[in-house]
Structure 1
Amino acid sequence: MTSKKQADILLVSNNIFAGKYGEDKPFPGIVAIVDNKIAAVGDIAQRDEWIGEDTEVYELGDKVVCPGFSDNHVFFTGYVWKRIGADLSGANTPAEAAKILESFAKTLPDDKPVYGHGLNVDGWSDADKDAAILDKIFGARAVIAYTPDRDFCWLNKAAQERYQITADECWAEVSWRLFKEYLSDKKFAAREYKIFSDLLASRGVTSIKEIGFDTYFGFADILEDFEKKGQLKHRINLVSQPVGAPMNYEYGEECKKRFDSDFIRFMGYNVMVDGEICTQTAAMIEPYEGKGDWKGDEVDYASIEKAVLEADKRGMRCALHAEGDAAVRGAVDIFEKCQKVNGKRDSRHAIIDLEMTHPEDLKRMGELGISAINYFQIIQTNDGFDGFYGEECVGKQRLSNYWAYKRMLESGVNVCVGTDLPLSEPDIPLSLYFTVARKFLDGKPEGGFNKEQGITVAQTLRAWSAGGAYVNFMDKKLGTLEEGKLADIVVFDGDVFTAPIDEVPQIKVEMTICDGRLVYSK
Structure 2
Amino acid sequence: MITGKKKSFMFLSTSIFTATACAPINGFIIVKGNKIEAVGTRYEAKSWIDKVDEVIDLGGRTVAPGFVDDHTFFTGYVLRSMGIDFSGIKSDVSGVSAIREYMSRNGSCEYIIGHGFDAENFSYSSEDVLSREFPDIPVAIFTADAGTCWMNEAARLKYGFTPQECYSEKLFRLMREYLHESCMKQKYKDYIKMLNSRGITAIKEIGYDDYSGFVSVLKDLEDSDSLNMRVSVLSQPVGEGINIDYGKEMREKLNGKCLSFEGYNRMTDRGIARFLGELIEPYAAKPGVTCLEPVDWELIEKETVEADKNGFRFALHCQGDGAVRHVVNIYEKCRKAGGKLINRHAITDLEYSNPADLERMGRLGVIAEIYPQIQSLDNKDDIMRMIETNLGGDRGKNYWNRRKMQDSGVCITCGTDLPLMLPDIPESVYCAAGGYFKDGKSYNVQNMLTVGELLTAWTKNGQYNCRREDVLGTLEAG
How large is the RMSD of aligned CA atoms in angstroms?
2.1
Q: How does 1:48-447 map to 2 (within 5 A)?
A: 48-52=49-53, 55=54, 57-122=55-120, 130=127, 132-185=128-181, 187-296=182-291, 297-339=293-335, 345-382=341-378, 384-388=379-383, 389-444=386-441
Q: State the SS of the aligned residue for 1:443.
A: coil
Q: Compare 344-353 and 245-254 and name the one that shifted more.
A: 344-353
Q: How does 1:442-461 map to 2 (within 5 A)?
A: 442-444=439-441, 448-461=442-455
Q: CA deviation at 1:9?
A: 3.7
Contact 2:334–2:341 (CA under 8 A) maintained in structure 1: no
Query: 2:14 aligns to what?
Result: 14
CA distance in 2, matches of 1:329, 1:233: 38
Q: State the SS of the aligned residue for 2:75.
A: helix
CA distance in 1, matches of 2:368, 2:199: 21
Contact 2:103–2:109 (CA under 8 A) maintained in structure 1: no
CA separation of 1:345/1:122 partners in 2, compared to 1, >3 Å: closer, same or farther?
Answer: closer
The aligned amino acid for 1:174 is: K
Q: CA deviation at 1:481?
A: 0.5
Q: Compare 465-474 and 153-162 and name the one that shifted more.
A: 153-162
Q: CA deviation at 1:100?
A: 3.0
**Normalised TM-score (structure 1):** 0.86
The aligned amino acid for 2:32 is: V
Q: Deviations over 1:478-519 (max 9, x none)?
A: 1111112xxxxxxxxxxxxxxxxxxxxxxxxxxxxxxxxxxx
Q: State the SS of the aligned residue for 1:331.
A: helix
CA separation of 1:350/1:90 partners in 2, compared to 1, >3 Å: closer, same or farther?
Answer: same
Q: State the SS of the aligned residue for 2:114.
A: strand
CA distance in 2, matches of 1:129, 1:32: 67
Query: 1:477 aligns to what?
Result: 471
Q: Deviations over 1:386-415 (max 9, x none)?
A: 222333322251111000011100011000
Query: 1:496 aligns to what?
Result: none
Contact 2:376–2:436 (CA under 8 A) maintained in structure 1: no
Q: CA deviation at 1:124?
A: 5.9
CA distance in 2, matches of 1:159, 1:198: 32
CA separation of 1:193/1:291 partners in 2, compared to 1, >3 Å: closer, same or farther?
Answer: same
CA separation of 1:285/1:124 partners in 2, compared to 1, >3 Å: closer, same or farther?
Answer: farther
Contact 2:335–2:342 (CA under 8 A) maintained in structure 1: no
Q: State the SS of the aligned residue for 1:67.
A: coil
The aligned amino acid for 2:45 is: I
Contact 1:6–1:51 (CA under 8 A) maintained in structure 2: no
**Normalised TM-score (structure 2):** 0.93
CA separation of 1:58/1:98 partners in 2, compared to 1, >3 Å: closer, same or farther?
Answer: farther
* Structure 2 runs not aligned, ≥5 long: none
CA separation of 1:70/1:46 partners in 2, compared to 1, >3 Å: closer, same or farther?
Answer: farther
Q: Compare 425-434 and 91-100 and name the one that shifted more.
A: 91-100
CA separation of 1:220/1:6 partners in 2, compared to 1, >3 Å: closer, same or farther?
Answer: closer
Contact 2:377–2:438 (CA under 8 A) maintained in structure 1: no
Q: CA deviation at 1:340?
A: 7.5
Give percent identity, aligned residues only.
39
Contact 1:88–1:118 (CA under 8 A) maintained in structure 2: yes
Contact 1:234–1:263 (CA under 8 A) maintained in structure 2: yes
CA distance in 2, matches of 1:280, 1:415: 26
CA separation of 1:427/1:396 partners in 2, compared to 1, >3 Å: closer, same or farther?
Answer: farther
The aligned amino acid for 1:146 is: F
Q: CA deviation at 1:184?
A: 1.2
CA distance in 2, matches of 1:266, 1:46: 43
Q: CA deviation at 1:50?
A: 4.0
Q: Deviations over 1:307-332 (max 9, x none)?
A: 11010000001000111111111111
CA separation of 1:129/1:291 partners in 2, compared to 1, >3 Å: closer, same or farther?
Answer: farther
Q: Which has the higher contact order (CA 8 A, sep 6+)?
A: 1
Q: Compare 138-147 and 427-436 and name the one that shifted more.
A: 138-147
Contact 1:197–1:234 (CA under 8 A) maintained in structure 2: yes
Q: CA deviation at 1:99?
A: 3.3
Contact 1:183–1:217 (CA under 8 A) maintained in structure 2: yes
Q: Deviations over 1:145-177 (max 9, x none)?
A: 122333322211221222122232221112111
The aligned amino acid for 2:14 is: N
CA separation of 1:394/1:99 partners in 2, compared to 1, >3 Å: closer, same or farther?
Answer: farther
The aligned amino acid for 2:452 is: A
Q: Compare 276-285 and 418-427 and name the one that shifted more.
A: 276-285
Q: CA deviation at 1:180?
A: 1.0
Contact 2:340–2:363 (CA under 8 A) maintained in structure 1: no
Q: Deviations over 1:174-213 (max 9, x none)?
A: 211111111112x311011011011100110000000011
